């Protein structure tokens, strides 16, 4: 295989990266050439994404790529978090800044929505986990408030689709990102018009859906001239970051599940068809789109957002520690002092995360953490126990024997959480790659350009390209005992 280069943009809810991938001789090498923050901007009571800043960082990355260009790029692909979107008017001008999914405008909207169309009917069509941040509830909040932006909108584009539009002028919605909206029919992979009509959301604003690996268009001449980059195809990978991460899981058995670990943790399996029944609804599992027409049956949990927000508060208080220092403190803290439910609504976007954790512990009759290491250990132990809770629910929905947990994403570098996950579940863990999202993004671009013949071949390349670390369960009986005592906290 000759060497070919691709550029992946991975926009996360905390930061973004531009990553060059070189595919050569059955190996993928990644190089982060630009890293930038992705701050949520609060204006009065609302929270937005700064799309202009992010697009400018994208162009800075293209300039950096052009300066090291010995051979032209074979493709550019963008992935981001799910559910959020921008609106364009009839002249394709952006109508304001995209709202953040943590904005409070969706407070109480789910209940209003279910008075119009039942929870069961929505789930039967979409198979998507109910969270107030989903696109359906963001749009319903605009209908409810008679937001003029919605009335003036001609096109809705999810965040990666919006970046693709800004790079090419083409308007499409990639399947995996569209599936997070709770507006897509999980079976026929098309917009569910009955939901749009029932909620008075204009379905005409939704863009045509394309599959992962679609060449969206060429980089527009204005960007080529501004950045000095060679004209290149813009390719829609799996534009939802988790879908790209799952594509890069170096599977080595048939009976595996994954945890995509980052700001959010997503725990699930790959299936050929959506699993939509009373049990999956009761346990709030979601059927999101994957690569090669697969379904990712999974459930979201809050993830390392809890630790990120604690660290942010401690930094404001003059206590600035990196994540490795925080984990060291956790090693010296007592085990199982307190356990929280990471998905309690009080943790969605509190102004003071440590205070929210203390209040949860008081509310549930537990000792409260005091030292920083105790907070960190509480978070990591709670996440591991919540993972077990979700895995048990998953196995009840889709009976199968699990012999491996693959943990990918930035959280796979947290060795303490990896070991706790194995301990709590009683299942061996394989951690890595940490850059699974970018790797999957690039694999799908390479498949689109016929440089890789199949997803299986791509996963074999991942397995041989990145170091993987294995963990075996320790003290599982102790963790099981603690789980039985605290699982009542979990929903």
The pLDDT value given to residue 2: 60
Question: Dihedral, CA atoms, 206, 208, 209, 213, nearest 10 degrees?
Answer: -130
DSSP letter at 81 equals -
Considering only the top CATH level, what class is 4-236? alpha beta
Contacts 24+ apart (CB under 8 A), 324-327: 326/372, 326/373, 326/376, 327/376, 327/380, 327/414, 327/415, 327/416
pLDDT tens profile 119-141:
999 999 999 999 999 999 999 99
Considering only the top CATH level, what class is 249-432+453-491? alpha beta
**Which of 10, 79, 241, 341 is labelled catalytic?**
241
The pLDDT value given to residue 150: 97
Q: Is 69 left (phi over 0), alpha (psi -120 to 50) or beta?
A: beta
Global confidence as pTM: 0.93
Number of residues in the chain: 491
Q: Is the pLDDT of residue 192 over 60?
A: yes
Same fold, 4-236 and 249-432+453-491: yes
Q: Is the pLDDT of residue 400 over 90?
A: no
The pLDDT value given to residue 1: 44
pLDDT tens profile 243-301:
999 999 999 778 999 999 999 999 999 999 999 999 999 999 999 999 999 999 999 99
Among the residues of 72-156, which ranges form H helices? 109-114, 119-126, 135-144, 148-151
Domain ranges of the chain: 4-236, 249-432+453-491
Q: H/E element holding 257?
A: strand 256-261
Q: Is the pLDDT of residue 491 over 90?
A: no
241 classed as catalytic: yes
Residue 401 binned pLDDT confidence (cut-offs 50, 70, 90): confident
Mean pLDDT of 9-17: 94
Q: Is the pLDDT of residue 313 over 60?
A: yes
Q: Is the pLDDT of residue 393 over 70?
A: yes
Collapsing DSSP to helix, strand or coil, 236 comes out as strand
Residue 13 binned pLDDT confidence (cut-offs 50, 70, 90): confident
pLDDT tens profile 324-338:
999 999 999 999 999
Q: State yes or no: cis peptide before 376, omega within 30 of 0.
A: no
The pLDDT value given to residue 164: 98
In this structure, how many other beta carbons lie within 10 angstroms of the beta carbon of residue 484?
9
């Amino acid at each position: 295989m000759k060497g070919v280069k691709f550029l992946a943009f991975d926009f996360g809810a905390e930061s973004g990266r531009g990553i060059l991938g070189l595919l050569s001789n059955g190996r993928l090498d990644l190089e982060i050439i630009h890293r930038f923050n992705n701050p949520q901007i609060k204006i009065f009571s609302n929270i937005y994404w700064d799309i202009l800043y992010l697009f400018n960082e994208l162009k800075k990355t293209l300039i950096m790529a052009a300066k090291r260009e010995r051979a032209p790029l074979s493709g550019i692909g963008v992935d981001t978090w799910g559910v959020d979107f921008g609106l364009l008017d009839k002249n394709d001008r952006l109508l304001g800044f995209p709202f953040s999914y943590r904005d409070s405008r969706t407070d109480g909207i789910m209940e209003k929505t279910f008075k119009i169309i039942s929870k069961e009917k929505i789930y039967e069509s979409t198979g998507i986990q109910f969270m107030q941040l989903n696109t359906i509830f963001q749009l319903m909040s605009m209908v409810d408030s008679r937001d003029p932006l919605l009335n003036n909108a001609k096109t809705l584009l999810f965040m990666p689709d919006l970046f693709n539009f800004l790079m090419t002028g083409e308007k499409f919605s990639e399947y995996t990102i569209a599936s997070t909206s709770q507006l897509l029919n999980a079976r026929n992979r098309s917009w569910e018009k009955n939901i749009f009509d029932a909620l008075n959301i204009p379905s005409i604003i939704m863009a045509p859906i394309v599959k992962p690996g679609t060449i969206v268009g060429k980089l527009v001449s204005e960007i080529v001239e501004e950045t000095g980059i060679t004209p290149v195809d813009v390719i829609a990978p799996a534009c939802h970051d988790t879908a790209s991460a799952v594509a890069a899981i170096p599977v080595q058995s048939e009976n595996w599940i994954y945890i995509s670990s980052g700001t959010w943790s997503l725990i699930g399996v790959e299936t050929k068809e959506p699993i939509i029944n009373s049990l999956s609804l009761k346990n709030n599992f979601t059927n999101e789109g994957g690569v090669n027409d697969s379904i990712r049956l999974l459930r979201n949990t809050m993830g390392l957002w809890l630790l990120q927000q604690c660290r942010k508060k401690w930094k404001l208080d003059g206590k600035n520690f990196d994540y490795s220092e925080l984990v060291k403190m956790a090693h010296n803290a007592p085990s199982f002092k307190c356990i929280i439910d990471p998905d309690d609504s009080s943790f969605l976007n509190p102004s003071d995360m440590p205070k929210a954790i203390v209040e949860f512990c008081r509310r549930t009759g537990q000792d409260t953490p005091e030292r920083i290491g105790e907070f960190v250990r509480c978070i990591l132990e709670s996440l591991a126990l919540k993972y077990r809770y979700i895995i048990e629910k998953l196995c009840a929905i889709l009976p199968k024997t699990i012999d491996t947990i693959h943990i990918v994403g930035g959280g796979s570098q947290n060795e303490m959480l990896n070991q706790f996950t194995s301990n709590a579940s009683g299942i061996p863990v394989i951690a890595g790659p940490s850059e699974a999202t970018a790797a999957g993004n690039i694999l799908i671009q390479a498949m689109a350009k016929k440089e890789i013949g199949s997803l299986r071949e791509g996963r074999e390349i991942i397995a041989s390209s990145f170091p993987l670390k294995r963990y075996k369960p320790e003290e599982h009986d102790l963790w099981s005992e603690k789980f039985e005592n605290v699982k009542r906290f979990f929903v």
